[in-house]
Amino acid sequence: MAFLTKDKIFSKLWFKHYLFIVIGSFILASSFVFFITPHKIVPGGVYGISIVVHYLTKGVFSFWPDGIPVGLFALLLDIPLIIAGIKILGPRFGVKTIMGSILTATFNDVITWMRPVAADVPLVNDVLLSCVFGGVLAGFGLGLIFKSRATSGGSDIIAMIIAKYTRLQLGRLMIYVDSVIVLFGLLAFGDWAIPLYSWVVIFITGKVIDITLEGADYNKALFIISKQHALIKDKLLNDLERGGTYFKGKGMYTDEDKEIIYTVVSRREVAILEEYISKIDPDAFITIMDTKEILGEGFQNLNQKLSG
């Protein structure tokens, strides 16, 4: 993970990033309070551990009859992890991550305290529905925090520390760490439904984080091999007003020279282009690929993305 950039204090970007942290922390905390925690879902990370500890300590302390508050215990876990991360990995976490951890923990416990019903009563009784909405909200909240150039703290710091001393990939390590925490929930509650629902939340959260960071791109990348490439080029430039790039190719079987068109169009324009090509060259070879993010001329500018 790259070192965190420093924003100029009180600049537009500075306010934007800290606003993302506040809003993201509130949404993340809400996902736990209303959808995840009441169903004993263990979505990995420090909050997964905190949810397990919350239920295991119910009735143990007279001043916390409902169990140790989830946000408080998560913060207690986050603090030493952040300190360890700074010492072992370097100053890459900083004020933003600390702020995000404190705000998420505070929002979590304040919202729980302010609920008009018992804290452990879910907003909806359907567990799968809670997993879906909880995962969407958690992913969106985390995505906003990541947009501010902060990290989420917690289990990803553990994964980074392990990655520093091993050759294992960071993404794989994060899955391992979260899976161990999910299995901890299985051992604590003795219910196989809990880890299964927990992995659903983890999957949805990851997908929504990607969409939040990269956007829901409706563009498709196409490779087109056709003898009528000149007509297709004209269709792209003049009708669809899209650009493209020519590649030189050679057929493996025929050994013929071929012109390959690479272009990016919207989903709607894919249908238009397919219909047109089917009329002028039914034997054309077309490869259509999903795109996660398009940067450059005609799309989002790279500098605008990095400054936003």
pLDDT at 305: 56
Q: What is the pTM of this model?
A: 0.75
Domain boundary among 214, 237, 260: 214
In a domain, 1, yes or no: no
| Same domain, yes or no: 234 and 210 | no
Domain boundary among 214, 240, 274: 214
| Same domain, yes or no: 143 and 228 | no
Q: What range defines the domain where residue 86 resides? A: 12-214
| Same domain, yes or no: 89 and 204 | yes
pLDDT at position 2 over 50: no
Strand partners, 290: 220
pLDDT in tens, 16-27: 888 999 999 999
| Same domain, yes or no: 114 and 195 | yes
- Range in 48-57, 67-76, 148-157, 223-232 with the lowest mean pLDDT: 148-157
| Same domain, yes or no: 59 and 204 | yes
| Same domain, yes or no: 269 and 197 | no
CA atoms within 13 A of residue 224's CA, in its CB half-sphere: 30
Cβ-based neighbours of 183, under 8 Å, separated by 6 or more: 195
Q: Considering only CA atoms, which of 273, 284, 277 is closest in space to residue 240?
A: 273
In a domain, 6, yes or no: no
Whether residue 188 contacts residue 259, with contact meaning beta carbons closer than 8 Å, is answered with no
| Same domain, yes or no: 206 and 226 | no
pLDDT cut 70: percent of the chain above it: 84
How many angstroms separate the CA atoms of 190 and 156, rounded? Answer: 26
Whether residue 275 contacts residue 296, with contact meaning beta carbons closer than 8 Å, is answered with no
In a domain, 290, yes or no: yes
| Same domain, yes or no: 88 and 183 | yes
In a domain, 53, yes or no: yes
- The angle, 0 to 180 degrees and rounded to 10, between the axes of the packed helices 155-165 and 45-56 is 120
Domain boundary among 214, 242, 259: 214
In a domain, 272, yes or no: yes
| Same domain, yes or no: 229 and 286 | yes
Q: Considering only CA atoms, which of 170, 172, 152 is closest in space to residue 160?
A: 170
For residue 45, count other CB atoms closer than 10 A to its CB: 26
pLDDT at position 155 over 70: yes
| Same domain, yes or no: 125 and 234 | no
- Range in 72-86, 194-208, 264-278, 286-300 with the lowest mean pLDDT: 286-300
| Same domain, yes or no: 202 and 228 | no
Number of domains in the chain: 2
In a domain, 192, yes or no: yes
Q: Considering only CA atoms, which of 31, 54, 51 is closest in space to residue 41?
A: 51
How many angstroms separate the CA atoms of 132 and 136, rounded? Answer: 6
pLDDT band at 1; cut points 50, 70, 90 = very low
3-state secondary structure of 219: strand
* Position with higher pLDDT, 303 vs 177: 177
How many angstroms separate the CA atoms of 104 and 148, rounded? Answer: 15
State whether the Cα torsion 84-89-95-100 is positive or negative: negative
| Same domain, yes or no: 173 and 227 | no
Strand partners, 265: 220
How many angstroms separate the CA atoms of 108 and 95, rounded? Answer: 20
pLDDT band at 42; cut points 50, 70, 90 = very high
